[in-house]
Chains A and B, each alone.
Chain A
Amino acid sequence: MLDIKTLETWLWNAACSIRGAVDAPKFKDYILPLIFVKRLSDVFEDEIKRLSEEFGDGETAIEIVSKDHNLVRFFIPKQAAWQQIRKQTTKIGEKLTDAIRAIAKENPKLQGVIDIVDFNATVSGQRIIDDGKLSSLIEIISRNRLGLKDAEPDILGRAYEYLLRKFAEGQGQSAGEFYTPKEVGWIMAYILDPEQGQEVYDPACGSGGLLVKSQLALKEKEKKILKPLRLYGQEQNYVTYAMAKMNMIIHDMEGDIAIGDTLRNPKFLEGSILKTFDLVVANPMWNQDGYNSEFYESDTFNRFNNGYPPTSSADWGWIQLMFASLNKNGKAAIVLDTGSVARGSGNKGSNREKEIRKAFVDSDWIEAVLLLPENLFYNTTAPGIILILNKNKPKERKDRIMLMNTSLEFEKGRPKNFIPDDKIEKIAKAFHDWKNIDKFTRIITNQEAEKNDYNLSPSRYVGNGKEEEYRDVDEILVELAELEEERKKTDRELNEIMKNITQRGFLKEE
């Protein structure tokens, strides 16, 4: 059996063999499907070997399997088997692409997942990855078998996630991709504490890491899984969507992954209403702009009943969407920037985000807010928070919110900080124990939240000795953007009024 370290080093070496040839954000799109295909091919070989014992010999087994693909996980046609791929010496890119398309053709589940990459692609007449580089990549990947007895799904899956993380670290994130650090995923999974057979949904699932971690957390806890979790995810970016599908298969998990913008076009419906779930997890894009009041107003799924977020940040659009996707006992864990729980509080006058937050506090839906350490996420040094919603809080937690300040619970790393395992446990335990811990957690009443003008920023309630003197610049900018948006609206209204009563306005006609 391959251990995780060996797997990681090997896969990373493979990645490095084509690095430089391709733009950082792109090269993972080539290597991840290849590893995936290698796994499929090796597993298929193992399955044929097992079936040949049953049917007498290998040829018979293949013949029977060609007629009934259901006997194996995935059917790999002869010309697409890894050994065939490896044998090619000319036109490698072209043949590799053909082989992968042949696999997709035989396995509808893989269509749109593995066949989206063209290994023969060119940019201004130049191959993106030339045959020489491809050949050495294939050679490196061939060094180890990835069959059922060689690599456990969990271990292989973790190595796969490791690669995703490495790509994210190497500034390999393109716009709209926000790989969630695994520690954050574990904290969310341990806090939500999934139970057998529950349905889990991630409306911004990326490569599916948070869904996978829920399942793994359940496995850690239970001796025997009678009913695994049912996983549902939606992702907007089609490359990342493909990654999520592969991630599920490599982890040997069943997941229903849909593609599309969940705010505009949620895919999991029951008739015309939103499907609801036991647990919802997500790390949506922070402070996403581009969704205006008309968009929220025209929503037909009753998601934004507690107010329309400002155009400058869809944070509370995502939160409301996730809340609307919870069943009556549902719980959600959402990663967002710290501003989402603080913006607008303490300001004179109204603020849309604060008003929505007020509605959530007053309805007693917020169970906890955790402040994370800084420099954890790949696209920002900002700390981020985890917001925990619970539609049916246990009795002793009613009208109460736990605020946790984990900002010191990390170890320095390069380029990013990380949360070691013992601290992940400490954080999850503190949530479940539900006690005040000096400089770490504080349980407040909803009235206390009201007194603080619905500012739920944990550092406001739980000092850890490290004074935060400066608010994050991004956070202030989002707040300013909302103010400017509202100012413009008032300017236009006032201009109309002045024109009406004095025949003269102060804005230029557009």
Chain B
Amino acid sequence: MKTKAVIENGFKETEIGLIPEDWEVVNVDKYIQFERGTEPGSENYNKDKKGVRFLRVVDISGSRDDKTYTTSKKLKLCKKKDILITFDGSPGIVKQGLEGAYSSGIRKVVIINKDLFSDYVYYVLQTIYVQRTIEKYTTGVTIKHSSKAILHIKIPFFSIQEQQKIAFVLSKIQQAIEQQDRIIETTRELKKSLMNKLFTEGLHGEEQKETDIGLMPKSWDVRKINEFAKIKYGKQKPKIIGQIPVVGSSRIYAWCEKPLINFPTLIVGRKGNAGAVHLFLEPCWPSDTTFYLEWKSEMVTPKFLYYYMSINQLSGEHAKTTIPSLQRQDLENYRFPFPNISEQLDIIKAIDKIDKKLSQAESKKQTFQALFRTMLNQLMTGKIRVKIRVRDLDVEVN
């Protein structure tokens, strides 16, 4: 037992660090039960929405999008308001708002003491106090287990009114993050739809014509890539490390000293992520799993072609080998809608603006996330105390 020395300014030293004098530290297992889920076996899974939604650790961590359902009878169920926490696989992830049956790697948080406010629990489980303990008691290398941590988790405890205030502030920040998320998601969708609209309708409200690559404005043509560019093979990555990006079929994967090319180009995945398109305006090194374009004409803006190709991707699926691979003539004969250069530039401008909005929304989200982490820490250590009443905080502001 440590002696609890009283520190200046009304703080005291405890086993979880400095906290305000009027707070306590409690063992979480006296206040909360963690109800373990069940495992009905993968033969009882389905993707056809039969039965109830089955929540696995991957659904909590958000690493998979596909939803699983189960018709099994031996299930533990949770509602949207329930707090879930993982103790296996990726331990320590806390989630609320999911409904269905939950797997054995997940625990449902059941509060057994009326002095603990549910939303406070949701946030306190995300604090470093809890996360560090879970980390400390994690065993297993490939599949992690940390249910032993439950007996050791300690949290700060204080009046339910103050718990409510802290939860309220954090939930507002969280709401701001979620909204930013939805704006990003919707703007991405807008970009996709707008690109399609621009490539089929153009910018000048022209009448459209039917072509074998789809509708497009009457004044446009259908042209092939090899009319404007030579298709070149990328080269093996050089050994000397430097500042120039080496581009593979799916991304930049290394840096080298000298560029292979020093003009703006499109790099198209040949093997691996066959058909993926990357735009490089600065000098770079396309690797040997890619093709790149060397321009014969300035009538096509690389970015215009890039945007079109990114929503009308080629694939290497027809390749006779097991690894999908793109053939050079597929790329040479790739056809695309071709407006005059000034309309190309206007189209690029419109799409670029959406990109700008997207990156602004992304950075705003990241800033809110940083604010959340800081406030979570400051509020849960009592460095910032919320003094006003919740009622006063919850004002409609106009």
Contact = CB atoms under 8 A, between A and B. Distances in A.
A490 B179 contact: yes
A114 B137 CA distance: 86
Contacts of B175: 349, 490, 494
B169 A480 contact: no
B24 to A, nearest CB: 23
Interface residues on A, range: 20 to 34
Nearest to A472: B193
A486 B179 contact: yes
Contacts of B197: 470, 473
B176 A451 contact: no
A476 B179 contact: no
A317 B192 CA distance: 29
Contacts of A490: 172, 175-176, 179
Interface string B323-353: 0000000000000000000000000000000
Contact of B183 (A451, A480, A502): A480
Interface in A479-510: 479-480, 483-484, 486-487, 489-497, 500-502
B169 A501 contact: yes
A207 to B, nearest CB: 26
A508 to B, nearest CB: 14
B16 interface: no
Chain A interface, >50% SS class: helix
Interface string A23-43: 000000000000000000000
Contact of B180 (A470, A473, A487, A497): A487
A64 interface: no
Chain B interface, >50% SS class: helix
B1 interface: no
A348 B178 CA distance: 8
A272 interface: no
Interface in B142-197: 169, 172-173, 175-176, 178-183, 185-187, 189-190, 192-194, 196-197
Contacts of A484: 183
B256 interface: no
A407 to B, nearest CB: 16
B395 interface: yes
Interface string B360-391: 00000000000000000000000010111000
A70 to B, nearest CB: 54
A348 B393 contact: no
Contacts of A489: 397
> Which of A451, A469, A483 has the most chain B CB within a 10 Å cutoff?
A483
B395 A470 contact: no
A374 to B, nearest CB: 12
A483 B186 contact: yes
A90 interface: no
Contact of B178 (A349, A494, A500): A349
A471 B178 contact: no
Contacts of A476: 186, 189-190, 193
Given A470-B196, A480-B190, A349 B393 contact: no
Given A479-B186, A483-B183, A502-B384, A494 B193 contact: no
Contacts of B180: 487
A126 interface: no
A146 B20 CA distance: 92
Given A470-B193, A476-B186, A502-B384, 14 more contacts: A348-B181, A348-B182, A349-B178, A349-B182, A472-B193, A473-B193, A473-B197, A490-B172, A490-B175, A494-B172, A496-B393, A496-B397, A500-B393, A501-B387
Interface of A: 347-349, 451, 469-473, 476-477, 479-480, 483-484, 486-487, 489-497, 500-502
12 contacts: A348-B178, A470-B197, A471-B193, A476-B186, A477-B190, A479-B186, A487-B180, A490-B175, A494-B172, A494-B173, A497-B169, A500-B388
